Chains A and B, each alone.
Chain A
Amino acid sequence: MTARRRPRRQPADAGYPPDESVGGRLVDARAHLLDRQVHDVDGVPVTAVDDLELVEGRAGAAPTVAALLSGSILNTRLLGGHQPEPRWGRIPWSSVAKVGVVIELSVRGEDLDVTWTERWLREHLIGRIPGGQHDPE
Chain B
Amino acid sequence: MTLSELLGTPVHDAAGHRVGRVADVRLVLADRAGGEAHVHGLLVSRRAHTPFLGFERSGATSPWPVAQVLRRLHRGAFVVRWADVEVRADRVVLRAQAPRWSADLPTGTRREGGD
Contact = CB atoms under 8 A, between A and B. Distances in A.
A19 B40 CA distance: 11
B3 interface: yes
B31 to A, nearest CB: 6
Interface string B17-31: 000000111111111
A27 B56 contact: no
Interface in B60-106: 71-72, 74-79, 81-83, 100-106
B43 interface: yes
Interface string A54-79: 11110001111100010000000000
Question: Range of interface residues on chain B?
Answer: 35 or more
Tell me what chain B mostly uses at the interface: helix, strand, loop, or mixed.
mixed
A13 B34 contact: no
Contacts of A26: 26-29, 40, 105-106, 109
Interface residues on A, range: 35 or more
A22 interface: yes
Given A16-B101, A22-B40, A24-B28, A95 B109 contact: no
Contacts of A19: 41, 79, 81, 101-102, 106
A66 B77 CA distance: 27
Contacts of A18: 101-102, 104, 106
Contacts of A98: 33
A106 interface: yes
A46 to B, nearest CB: 17
A96 interface: yes
Given A28-B24, A65-B27, A13 B78 contact: yes
Interface of A: 9-14, 16-20, 22, 24-34, 51-57, 61-65, 69, 82, 93-101, 106
